[in-house]
Homo-oligomer: A and B are copies of this chain.
Amino acid sequence: MTNDIKIAVVGLGQIGIYLLNELNIKKKDIELKTGKKIKVVAVSARNISKKRRFKINKKIFFKNPLDIFKETKIDILFEAIGLSDGISKKVVETALKNKIHVITPNKALISKHGDLLAKLAENNNVNLEFEASVAGGIPILRTIKEGLSTNKISKVYGILNGTSNYILSEMRNSKDSFSNVLKKAQKLGYAEPGNPKLDLNGFDAFAKVRILSSLAFNTLISKHKCLMEGIEKIELKDIEIANQLNLRIKLLGISEIINGSLFETVHPCLVSKNSYIGNVSGVMNAVILEGKPVGESILQGEGAGPGPTSSSLLSDLLSILKGNVKKPFGIPHIKRKSIKCYNVNNYTNSLYLRFEVKDKPGVLSKITNRLAKYKISVKRLIQTPDKKNNKATIVIITHKTNELNSKNCLSIFKKDKDILNYPTLIRMYN
C-alpha cells in the first residue's frame, strides 16, 4: 500500500454521511496513527440532489456504484447501502475481485454471504472487515479475533438489538403499549420509520448471532434457523407481571456449543431484575463471552446509531492501514468447519405461560391436568380474575421442560374455546 490512500463511500444514508464527516475530522489523527494520508475520491447514492448533512462534491458522485471501479482507482471501499443481496453484494464482490479492501456495517450481507465473500477476499489478498455489523461501537469481533484469540469459547450471548431493548425498557418505564412505544422509537430514530420488522421479529439479532458464532467457534456461517422469536408478541401485561415477579424481559441472542452441535437462538427471555443483563437498558447492547482460560467477559456499549457505528468503521480502517492483510474470520477460510445444528426440540427451559381464559369452573384444572399429563410441573401459579369481563389471567411458571414437550402440551389450547388466546410463552434464562 502506498502512503496516499484512496477511499470510496457507497451509500450516503445515516451511516455513510456520518462516516464522511468523521473521515474529514479524523484525517490528521489517522495520519498520525498510521502514517497514511486518506482521501475520499468517490461517493455513491441513488439521488445526487437529495439534501444531506454533509456537503457532497458532485464531481465524485456516482449514481451507479459499479461505475466507480471503471473510472477511479481506489484502495478501500465502504459499503453502507445495507441490502443482503443485490447491489450491496455486487459492489462488495467487484471491489474484492479488483483487490480493493472492503469495510461494511452490513450484517444482512455478511450473515448471508460472509463465507463466499471471505473466500474472495482471501484469494485476492485483501481485507474484508465488518466490526460495525455487530453491536455497534463495541469492538466485539476484534475482541474475539484478537483480544481473546487463543481462548476456547463455549458460549456467546447478549442483547444485540438496540431497538428491541429500547422498546422493552420504555414499555416498562412508561407503562405504555408496544405499538405506542414503537411509534416513539421511530420518532427518536431508534427504529426504522418504514419497516422496523427486521428489528422486532429477531431477524437482525439473529444475523449478528450468526456472525458471532462463526468467529467464536471458527465455523462456517450456519444456515439453520434453530429458534427465532422477536418481541412483537410481548404485551405490557407481561412486562408488568414480570416486574411483580422480580424479573425483566430481554431479547437475547444466544450461541453455544452443546455436545458438539451449534445452538443459535434469538428469543425474549425472563431474567432476574438484579442480574447484570437485566440492567442493560435502552439502546445499549451487551455481549457476554464464556471462555477458557479467561472466564466470563462482558462488553457493553451503545449498540446502534451512526456515532458508535462509525467508531467501528474507523477502527476497521485503521486496522487495514496499519497492518498486514487479515483473514476476515480470523483463520483461513479453508480451516473453518461446518457444524451440525443442535436439535431445538431438546432446548430446555423453565417457562412463563400466560393464559387468558373464561372465568368459569374447571378451566384451571383443565390447564393443570394437561401440564401434568406432559410432566410439566408447576413452580408458581398466579390467577387474577377480571370479574367485569368474566375473564381471568392465569400465569404459570413451570419447572424445566424441553421445546418439543411444551409444544405438544400446549397445542391443544389452540382449539379450546375457554382459552381466549393461544398462551403467551416466554422462556426463563437459565
Contact = CB atoms under 8 A, between A and B. Distances in A.
Interface of A: 18, 22, 26, 29-30, 32-33, 131, 137-139, 142-143, 146-151, 276, 279, 291-302, 306-308, 310-312, 314-315, 317-319, 322-324, 326, 330-332, 335
A299 B298 contact: yes
Interface centre among A30, A151, A279 (most CB of B within 10 A): A151
A239 B148 CA distance: 35
Given A137-B295, A139-B143, A295-B137, A148 B311 contact: yes
Contacts of A298: 298-301
- Which 6 residue pairs across A and B have the least CB separation, nearest first? A139-B147, A293-B307, A137-B294, A294-B311, A298-B300, A297-B301
A150 B30 contact: yes
Task: Give the number of times this chain occurs in the complex, counting copies.
Answer: 2
A238 B301 CA distance: 32
A189 B421 CA distance: 56
A332 B148 CA distance: 25
A301 B311 contact: no
B311 A291 contact: yes
A105 to B, nearest CB: 14
A143 B139 CA distance: 7
B326 A322 contact: yes
Given A297-B137, A299-B299, A323-B324, A26 B147 contact: no
Contacts of A315: 146-150
A337 to B, nearest CB: 11
Contacts of A30: 150
7 contacts: A139-B143, A142-B147, A292-B307, A293-B310, A294-B311, A295-B301, A297-B302
